[in-house]
Amino acid sequence: MFKILALITIFALTAFAAGDASFEAVKRDLNIPAIIMFFVFIVGTLGITYWAAKKTKSASDFYTAGGGITGFQNGLAIAGDYMSAAAFLGVSGLIYLKGYDGVIYAVSFLVGWPIILFFMAEKLRNLGKFTFADIAAYRLGQKEIRTLAAFGSLSVVVLYLIAQMVGAGKLIQVLFGMEYEYAVVLVGIMMIIYVTFGGMLATTWVQIIKACLLLTGVSFMAIMVLWHFDFSFESLAVKAVENHSAGESILAPGGFISDPISAISLGMALMLGTAGLPHVLMRFFTVGNAKEARKSVVYATGFVGYFWIIITVVGFGAIAFLNSADGAQYFVDGKLFGGNNMASIHLSHMLGGNAFLGFISAVAFATILAVVSGLTLAGASAISHDIYANVINPNATDEQVVRLSKITVVVVGIVGVVLGIAFESQNIAYMVGLAFGIAASANFPILFLSIYWRGLTTRGAFIGGFIGLITAVTLVIIGPIVWVQILGNAEAIFPYKHPALFSVTIAFLGIWFFSKTDNSQRGKDEKEMFRAQNVRANTGIGSAGAVDH
């Protein structure tokens, strides 16, 4: 079955590749090096999936790779999860468009990692099994908390998935000249194959390989950009100012987010949202113990921090090169072909020709596939593990749970394709910002307070958490992007693009108020259970060990 699917996928790619690899409205020669590297990656990752499928036998294998991943491997995989299409394509495109504000956006993504390192990584590994809902439901009501966690996870997964699908569709459109809709469908098919057959083990190794390739490729791009300016960032900045229509203002803040409320709201979303992303939190259950979990965060922070430094160089390099006379070939009707998200892809062609374009495009595609695989797995686990196995049918067998997971993967894949087509014109870094906002509002408050606050009760977590989730989703819908740009209304009901400042505050206040006013016997029992939970969280006594592979 696997070989048949692989052959169908490769045949589909071959058929699509028969189009022109155009950057503009006129025909170009077929970019053979790009297509060869693209195929090499796809064949290699299908091989990894086949290997992982033979090792994936239990629910533990499917969800957490049996807990047998080392701290260094997991750190690379987390970095691979985090360095998504929004990071590579979206943020570099944002720097190309807005300059310094794009750099601030990039740095904000990094700030959440110290919170995970110092407050959460060790306790996540000691308390959890497959999903972050395992921690929140450790001493609280299974039905209520897991239902809420699943809704929060799926909301984040869907928004994050849209961003990756848009990035993938634009990338393949630029590379193969394929219609955008077909490109998104192709990504959906590949994602379903990876996750359905290989589970977390295949996803982890695809993420590790992708992280290495991405760091190598972007480092080379940054070196090539700086080499043209005698390794002087000052000279690069001067040239970028000369070539950008906004002039010196690209070196000052305020071009993208001008009011303090939006700036604070976005910063809060990116900082706290990092600690509430379900596909990142899942990674802490793939290591053997709390020590390896802490090491994972240290390595991931180092890799991601380095990545943001070099993506800044790439973004300003795109301004300097693409907005020059030589870069005119990448524009159609005054706009960059494929949109601003494709700035780094076009820059790679200017710096290294077709061969380097092929490498960077394959790496970008690897980036997207790895992240959507992790997202899909997180969405599937929310439904199969949290809802089905712990709420609907607590006596479900491993086989039933994994089977439902695979069905869910297909459904999530289809939803991702449909929404990816609908949101084609959105900047993918912005879409991820919304996902972070919902993660910060719905997932983080419950997870953080369940670990550290003795007074948390099921009533408070459920009501306050749902208020936070509904507030975040509602404010996104009635905000400027969805209400005006997507739905076509004249004016937004909620004036700010990022709702986190309001929704996170409401979530914390709601959880605190409804927990404080909960005088039921159940609430008192849950508060008493905090002591036992705290012992396990800090010592690891009773937590599951790694499984050898």
Question: Would you write out the chain's pLDDT as a tens digit for each of its 549 residues?
Answer: 333 333 323 323 322 232 233 333 333 445 677 677 777 877 887 788 778 777 777 677 776 666 678 888 888 888 887 777 667 777 888 888 888 888 877 777 778 878 877 777 778 777 767 777 788 788 888 788 888 888 888 888 888 788 778 777 777 776 666 778 888 888 788 777 777 776 777 778 888 888 888 899 899 999 999 998 888 888 888 888 888 887 888 887 776 776 788 888 888 888 888 888 887 787 877 787 778 888 888 898 899 889 988 999 999 998 988 888 787 788 777 778 777 778 888 888 888 887 888 788 777 777 777 777 777 888 888 888 788 887 888 887 778 887 888 888 888 888 888 888 887 766 666 677 778 888 888 889 988 898 889 998 999 999 999 899 899 889 888 888 778 877 778 888 888 888 889 999 999 999 999 999 988 898 888 888 888 888 887 776 766 554 444
Would you say residue 77 lies in a domain?
yes
Would you say residue 278 lies in a domain?
yes
Other CB atoms within 10 A of residue 3 CB: 9
> Which of the 8 DSSP states describes residue 87?
I
Would you say residue 448 lies in a domain?
no
Sequence-ordered alpha helix ranges (H) in 244-285: 260-274, 278-281
Write the CATH number for 99. Answer: 1.20.1730.10
Number of domains in the chain: 1
Query: According to the model, what pLDDT value does residue 11 have?
Result: 27
Would you say residue 481 lies in a domain?
no
Query: According to the model, what pLDDT value does residue 542 have?
Result: 64
Distance (Å, whole) CA 306 – CA 302 = 6
> Which of the 8 DSSP states describes residue 69?
B
Would you say residue 216 lies in a domain?
yes
With tokens 């203002």, the residue in question is 249
Other CB atoms within 10 A of residue 219 CB: 16
Residue 406 belongs to what domain range?
Answer: 66-425
Question: Shortest CA distance to 419 belongs to which of 468, 486, 478?
Answer: 486
- The residues near 231 (Cβ < 8 Å, ≥ 6 apart) are none
Tokens representing residue 67 in the block:
């807990």
* Angle formed at CA 169 by CA 473 and CA 265, multiple of 5 degrees: 30
Q: CB-hemisphere CA count at 13 Å for 423?
A: 26
Tokens representing residue 421 in the block:
């087509």
SS3 state at 287: strand
Query: According to the model, what pLDDT value does residue 113 have?
Result: 78
Distance (Å, whole) CA 547 – CA 549 = 7
CA dihedral 135, 136, 140, 141 (to 10 degrees): -110
Distance (Å, whole) CA 2 – CA 54 = 11
Would you say residue 73 lies in a domain?
yes
CA dihedral 46, 50, 51, 53 (to 10 degrees): 130
Ramachandran category for residue 428: left, alpha or beta (phi over 0 → left; psi -120 to 50 → alpha) = alpha
Amino acid identity at 133: A
Amino acid identity at 379: G
Amino acid identity at 547: V
Tokens representing residue 536 in the block:
């396990």
- 385 within 8 A of 402, measured Cβ to Cβ: no
Question: Shortest CA distance to 39 belongs to which of 258, 366, 468?
Answer: 366
Would you say residue 150 lies in a domain?
yes
> pTM for the complete prediction?
0.79
- 401 within 8 A of 59, measured Cβ to Cβ: yes
Distance (Å, whole) CA 124 – CA 121 = 5
* Ordered DSSP codes for 349-387: HHHHHHHHHHHHHHHHHHHHHHHHHHHHHHHHHIIIIII
Helix (H) or strand (E) holding 336: strand 335-336
Query: According to the model, what pLDDT value does residue 38 have?
Result: 73
What Rg, from alpha-carbon coordinates, does the chain have?
23
Would you say residue 382 lies in a domain?
yes
Query: According to the model, what pLDDT value does residue 14 have?
Result: 29
